[in-house]
Every structure is written in structure tokens, then in C-alpha cells.
Amino acid sequence: MNYREPKANIDPDTSKSWLRRALPVALAHRWLLLTSLALSLAGLLIQVQIPNLVRLGIDDALVARAASLQKYFWLIALFAVGQGIVNYLARRYLLKTAYAVEYDLRNIMYQHLVRMPFGFYDRVQSGELMSRSSSDIRAVQMYLTFGPSILVQCTIAVFAFALMLSVNVPLALVAMAALPVVGVLGIYARRSIFPVSWLIQSRLAQVATVVDENTNGVRIVKAFAAEQQQLETLAREADKVRWAYRREASIRSWWSPTLENLPRIGLGLVLLLGGWMAIQGKASIGTIVAFNAYVLMLQPPFRMLGMLIMLSQRAAASARRIYEVLDTHSDIADGTVSARLRGQISFENVSFNYPLGTSAISGMSFTVKPGETIAIVGRTGSGKSTIGRLLARYYDVTSGRVLIDGRDVRSFALAGLRDQVGIVPDEPFLFSVSIRDNIAYGRPDASMEEVIKAAKAAGAHDFIQELSHGYSTKVGERGYTLSGGQRQRIAIARALLVNPPILVLDDATSAIDVSVEQRIHSSLKSLLDGRTTLIVAHRLSTIALAHRVLLVSEGRVIADGTHASLLETSPEYGSVLASSLQDDEVASVPLARGSDPQTGVLASGLRGAERGNTA
């Protein structure tokens, strides 16, 4: 099924009320909604005629015996059937409107979320976003669609009052005596319910956050035997929701019965005054029965009026929570340049701080030629991974410039830029679809032959064939049915299939066995020719793929050269490599001549391990 754009959007004018901002979404489906409301109104007009027919039947057929009772029976039956058909159609069109509005609201929210930069997700909890994208949207949709319908249903009071006035003015006034009181109480009810509605939606979001974190982090929870601790955390948040719901129930238990039962005062007054008037001969028995029916007919609208007040306050609270997201604008502006990249990369005095203030890069400068393969080496937290994120504009630099082919990356259209800068992270994310669809994620129209070729290049084809359904095997949520190394190989295949001119391998083989990694590297060597590649590396076998090496420390490039030259000139480089070697490798390699025994720089040994490095 093709994606359908929302027919309207939320009004961006923050000075307007929440309802006026949301109104364009409802009005985009106005013909469906108006058809439903018109049919509902027709049903009400039919409904109010039935008590009048009862009045005429009693007075004419039973009391005066001037007409046939059978005639009124068939008229009432005909009106009842007509009302049923009209109400069915009204309900059908109303539900269509509700689903259409909800579809648009969800897509408006999702469109906004996919445009937001990484920094937004660094600050916002996923459970909060899930809550605002589900229960909050449903609350707004309920009010936008069912609110007008309830108001139309309440107009039955107008029709009934008009008919009652045409029959008996004093009785009509008595029957509607409670209406002004209902209006005043409704205003007070709104003020009481709104704060609690906001609290409920906020606390539901907290529960969603806890559930989301426990679902995604279930392996950590079990690893630390923290199930009971997490149950207690969820219980605390659920208890807060329960308190808020109880508070709302307490308010509603006072206001709802009051609003619903006020019309019954009118019923008592009708019986009292109508009975006296019947005794005096000023009203007929049929009139009293009809007026009782009209008063009883007013009870459902009054009950729905209480529901409308609750819906409006919950919708107002939910809309404001939704607008908090929609009114947050991306701090990464889309560029306009669309061009096929050659792959020249330059960092000019780049500095960058993450949203929480952590400094990752400080005054970094380097240049990569088109088609060159660069290994980026450094200790944990030195800023290696941040280089790729700035290159693809997941974040914008704090100062300085990142250039591709001599252009500032901020000038490129984001979609075109990211399509040509492939990044394979060290912790790849797989979707809950087949392996074939995961590999072809960037190119859904890729042929099976192309998918298999990419999988072979990434060293994934053999293990995929051993799975129960081969490339059709579904990997489960986040791909956790596979090992870490298998997920990394599928992620590499996914990037290779897109064939980007710039490729960033962010420690992408860290979970892969060394022997398997060597086979992958032999495949990658030919694939990397002519492609600008940045490899965040720890292993010597990975560094062997590179033409030269950048040594990064505290957000700066402190050394730049071939692997061999850096071993000769940079003790820090040898120290970094030594710290990443396995214990058995360290034990088997002697210290280099002239090295610092405190840092354990294994210069000659490392050169021996990397004999054959093309650099």
C-alpha cells in the first residue's frame, strides 16, 4: 500500500487555542463529518416525533376514540425503523471520519519525528514519544470527531423544547427548568477535570517509558537479576497513574451524576404540574405521557454532555503534549545542493559538543582524498565515532567546517547527503523483518542477486544459508536472534548494497571473529577501491586496509601518517594499539627497542603483526 500524505497539518501558530490549531485536520475530512452530522440530525428529528405520535394516539384513539390505534402503531414502527437506518449510517460515517483523522494525526507526528536530529532523541525519552503518538493522539481524535456528534445529539433538547412549546407552554418551561443549572455546573466541571487529565496523560507516558526501557533492556535486567527492582519501579509509576485515575473518578463521580440527574427534576415537576393541569382539564393524559418521554429523552444528551466535558479536558491536555513535540523545530536546516559526491573530505578546525554539553571534538583538522581509505585510531572517548556523525550531519558542528568535495556539508540536501555517506555502526540495528529486507533496507528494489553479492562481500552469506529459511528468515526485534557478529555482517552488507561513495565503518567488525574478519577484509579490499572510506579501528587487521592512519586524542588529530611511520614516530600510537591487543598477543610480542616500558609500546612486534600492510 502506498503512503498517503495527511490531507492537512496542525496550524503552526502557537498563539491560537489548541482546538483552532487542530481544526484544519478535522476540516480536511469535513464532508465525511458533515454527512455524519446531517444524518445524526435527521435521526433526532425522527426521534422527537415519536412521543408526539404517542400523545396523539392516546388522546385520539384511546381517550376520544376518534381514530384507529393501529394507525399510530404502524406510524411509530415506521419512524423507529427509519431512525435505526439513519443512525446506522450516521455512526458509520462518523467512525470513518475518526479513523481518517487519527491516521492524519499519527502521520503528522511521525513526519515530524523523522525530521528531528539525533540531538532531539538524546534528550527525549522514547516512552514519552510513544505515549504522545498513541494515547494522546487518540484523545485528540476522539474530541475532534465525537465532540461535534455529541453537540448535535444535545440539540435534541432544542427540538424537544420546540415541540413541547407548541403543545403546552407552562409544562415546556417547567420541563427545561434545569437546563441553565446544567450549563453553569458544566463550566465548573471543566475547570476541575483539566489538571487531572494532564496529570493522567503525563503519568501514562512515564509508565510507557518504564515498559519500553525494560523491554529493550531485558537482557541487562536479567544479567543483573534486577527483575524485582524493575517490578517495583513499574509499580511505583503505575501507582501514580492509579492515584490520578482515582482522583479523576472522584471528580466525575460528583459531576457526572449531577449533570445526568438534573433533568429528572424536570420529570418530577412535569408530573406535579401536569397532574394538577389534567385534573383541572387544562392538559390531556397524552400530553403528560409525551412530556415524560421528552424529559427522559433529554437524559442521554445530558449524560453525553458530561462525557464531552471529560473528552474536551483530556484532549486539551493531550494536544498540548503533542504540540510540545510538534513545536520543537530541528536545529539542522536542510540544504539545497544535490550532487554526486566524489569523496574528498576536509575537517577545518572543527569543534563539537553533544547536546548535554560533553565536548567530543576540539579544533580537529584533516583531509581525505577521493578514494582514499583512512583508519581512525584512538582511545575510548577520543572522538572517533563523532567524525562519521558530523560527516553525515547527524549533528552540526559547534564551530569550524566539515567539507565534502569543497562544499560545506550544511549546503547539501540531507536525504541526498545521507544516501551517499554510508555508516556501519559498531552496534547495528536490525528491523523485525527478513534478512533479505534488512540487507535491502536502503534499496528495497534491489534484486536477490545483488543482495546475495553484498552478503558474500560482508561474509554473511554462509551463515544466512544455514538459517531455517535462509534470506527469508525473520530476525526478530532488533535482530537479537542473531549473534553480535552476525548482525554486524548484515549491517555491512546493507551499507555495501547501497554502494555509497563515502563509507564509514565505525568499529563495524568488533564482534566478528578474527578469522572471519580476515575473509571479510579480503572481500572488502576490492570493494573499497575508488571509495572514500573511514575506518574506526582497533584491530591491526582492520588498520591493514587503510592507506594511512589518523591518531585521535581528546578530540584532535595528533598524528597522521602510514601505520609504519606512526609506529616509528608516535609512542602514543603504539600504546593505543598495544592496549587493544589480546593478552596472548601482548605476551608473545617483545618490546620495541627504545620504547617506554611503562606504556608497553610494541613497535617492532606490531610491525611484524602487520607485515604486508600496503600502506
Residue of 398, 413, 364 lying closest to 534 (CA atoms):
364
**What number of other Cβ atoms are within 10 A of residue 530's Cβ?**
10
- How would residue 302 be classed by pLDDT, with cut points 50, 70 and 90? low
**What number of other Cβ atoms are within 10 A of residue 188's Cβ?**
11
Average pLDDT, the chain: 81
* pLDDT value, residue 261: 67
CB-based contact 234:214 (threshold 8 Å) = yes
CB-based contact 414:465 (threshold 8 Å) = no
Of 541 and 451, which is predicted with more confidence?
A: 451
Q: Thinking of the domain 18-326, which architecture would CATH place it in?
A: Up-down Bundle (1.20)
Biggest CA-to-CA distance, the chain: 126
Say how far apart CA 494 and CA 424 lie, in whole Å: 9
CB-based contact 424:385 (threshold 8 Å) = no
- How would residue 605 be classed by pLDDT, with cut points 50, 70 and 90? very low
Q: How many helices (H) and strands (E) does the chain have?
A: 24, 10
Say how far apart CA 210 and CA 212 lie, in whole Å: 5
Strands 359-368 and 548-553: unpaired
- How would residue 136 be classed by pLDDT, with cut points 50, 70 and 90? confident
Say how far apart CA 44 and CA 33 lie, in whole Å: 17
Q: Thinking of the domain 345-561, which architecture would CATH place it in?
A: 3-Layer(aba) Sandwich (3.40)
**What number of other Cβ atoms are within 10 A of residue 441's Cβ?**
18
| Percent of the chain as helix, strand, coil, to the nearest 5 | 65, 10, 25
Residue that the C-alpha cell 567530543 belongs to: 360
Give me the residues paired with residue 434 across strands: 474
pLDDT digits (tens, 9 = 90+) for 554-582: 889 999 998 889 888 888 888 888 877 64
Say how far apart CA 480 and CA 491 lie, in whole Å: 13
User: pLDDT above 70 covers what percent of the chain?
Assistant: 85
Helix axes 285-326, 156-167, angle to 10 degrees: 160
Say how far apart CA 113 and CA 129 lie, in whole Å: 9
pLDDT digits (tens, 9 = 90+) for 417-471: 988 998 888 788 888 888 999 999 888 889 999 999 989 888 889 889 988 889 9
Say how far apart CA 286 and CA 58 lie, in whole Å: 5
Beta strand residue intervals within 321-413, DSSP E: 345-353, 359-368, 373-378, 399-404, 407-408
One-letter identity of residue 233: T
The alpha carbon of 496 is separated from its chain's Cα centroid by a whole number of angstroms, namely 29
Q: For residue 310, what are the CA distances in angstroms to 191, 251, 253?
A: 10, 10, 12
One-letter identity of residue 136: D
Q: Where are the domains of the chain?
A: 18-326, 345-561, 563-615
One-letter identity of residue 363: G
pLDDT digits (tens, 9 = 90+) for 388-397: 999 999 889 9
Q: pTM of the full predicted structure?
A: 0.71
The C-alpha cell at 360 is: 567530543
Question: Looking at 66-70, 339-343, 362-366, 554-558, which range is the least confident one?
Answer: 66-70
Residue of 596, 19, 527, 44 lying closest to 313 (CA atoms):
19
3-class DSSP assignment, residue 241: helix
pLDDT digits (tens, 9 = 90+) for 242-267: 888 888 777 777 766 776 667 677 77
- In degrees, rounded to 5, the angle at the alpha carbon of residue 442 between the alpha carbons of residues 436 and 448 is 35
Say how far apart CA 93 and CA 102 lie, in whole Å: 14
* pLDDT value, residue 254: 72
CB-based contact 540:610 (threshold 8 Å) = yes
- Mean pLDDT of the region 35-63: 86
